[in-house]
Structure 1
Amino acid sequence: MQELQSAFHDLSTAHVADACMRLSVPVRCSPAGLRPVLPGVHVVGRALPAQHVGSVDVFLEALEASEPGDVLVVDDGGRTDRACVGDLVALEAARAGITGIVIWGLHRDTRELREIGLPLLSLGASPSGPASVEPQAADALVTARLGEHAVTRDDLVLADDDGAIVVPLARARDAAVAAASIRDTERRQAAAMRGGSSLREQVRFRDYLDARSARGIGFREHLRDVGGAIEE
Structure 2
Amino acid sequence: MTDVTQTRSAAADWIAWGSAATGDALRGEGYPFQCMDAGIHAVAPGMKVAGPAYTVRTYPGATWALGRAIEQASAGDVLVVDAGGRPDVIIMGELMSMRAQQRGIAGVVVDGAVRDIADIDALGFPMFARYVCPRSGTHDKVGQWQTPIACGRVVVNPGDWIVADESGVTAVPADVVEPVARATAQVKAKEAAIARHLKAGCDLGTACEKAAASLHTE
Q: TM-score range by the shorter chain?
A: 0.7 to 0.9
Partner of 2:86: 79
Q: Percent identity?
A: 27
Partner of 2:195: 190
Which of 85, 94, 100 is the equivalent residue of 1:93?
A: 100
Partner of 1:20: 26
The question of whether the paired residues in 2 share the 8 Å contact of 1:50 and 1:75 is answered with yes
One-letter code aligned to 1:10: A
- Please state how far the C-alpha of 1:170 moved relative to its aligned partner: 1.9
Query: For the residues of structure 1 that align with 2:139 and 2:70, how far apart are their CA atoms?
Result: 20
- Please state how far the C-alpha of 1:133 moved relative to its aligned partner: 6.2
Alignment of 1:140-159 (within 5 A): 140-159=145-164
Partner of 1:163: 168
One-letter code aligned to 2:40: L
Which of 116, 122, 126 is the equivalent residue of 1:115?
A: 122
Query: For the residues of structure 1 that align with 2:208 and 2:105, how far apart are their CA atoms?
Result: 42
Structure 1 residue ranges without an equivalent (≥5): 205-222
One-letter code aligned to 1:74: V
Query: For the residues of structure 1 that align with 2:117 and 2:152, how far apart are their CA atoms?
Result: 22
- Please state how far the C-alpha of 1:63 moved relative to its aligned partner: 2.3
Which of 106, 128, 133 is the equivalent residue of 2:135?
A: 128
Query: For the residues of structure 2 that align with 1:31 and 1:78, how far apart are their CA atoms?
Result: 12
One-letter code aligned to 1:105: G
The question of whether the paired residues in 2 share the 8 Å contact of 1:13 and 1:165 is answered with yes
Alpha-carbon distance change, 227 to 133 in structure 1, aligned in 2, over 3 angstroms: farther
CA root-mean-square deviation:
2.4
Query: For the residues of structure 1 that align with 2:117 and 2:48, how far apart are their CA atoms?
Result: 19
Superimposed CA distance per residue, residues 52-86 of structure 1 (whole angstroms, 9 cap, x where no aligned partner): 32332212221232111100112111111222111
Query: For the residues of structure 1 that align with 2:101 and 2:161, how far apart are their CA atoms?
Result: 18
SS in 2 for 1:50: strand
Partner of 2:52: 46
One-letter code aligned to 1:174: P
The question of whether the paired residues in 2 share the 8 Å contact of 1:105 and 1:122 is answered with yes
Query: For the residues of structure 1 that align with 2:130 and 2:192, how far apart are their CA atoms?
Result: 31
Structure 2 residue ranges without an equivalent (≥5): 1-6
Partner of 2:205: 200
- Please state how far the C-alpha of 1:194 moved relative to its aligned partner: 1.2
Which of 180, 191, 197 is the equivalent residue of 1:175?
A: 180
One-letter code aligned to 2:121: R
Query: For the residues of structure 2 that align with 1:7 and 1:174, how far apart are their CA atoms?
Result: 14
The question of whether the paired residues in 2 share the 8 Å contact of 1:56 and 1:89 is answered with no
- Please state how far the C-alpha of 1:121 moved relative to its aligned partner: 0.8
Query: For the residues of structure 1 that align with 2:136 and 2:205, how far apart are their CA atoms?
Result: 52
Alpha-carbon distance change, 9 to 127 in structure 1, aligned in 2, over 3 angstroms: closer
Is it true that 1:62 corresponds to 2:69 in the alignment?
yes
Is it true that 1:34 corresponds to 2:40 in the alignment?
yes
The question of whether the paired residues in 2 share the 8 Å contact of 1:68 and 1:98 is answered with yes
TM-score (norm 2): 0.85
One-letter code aligned to 1:109: D
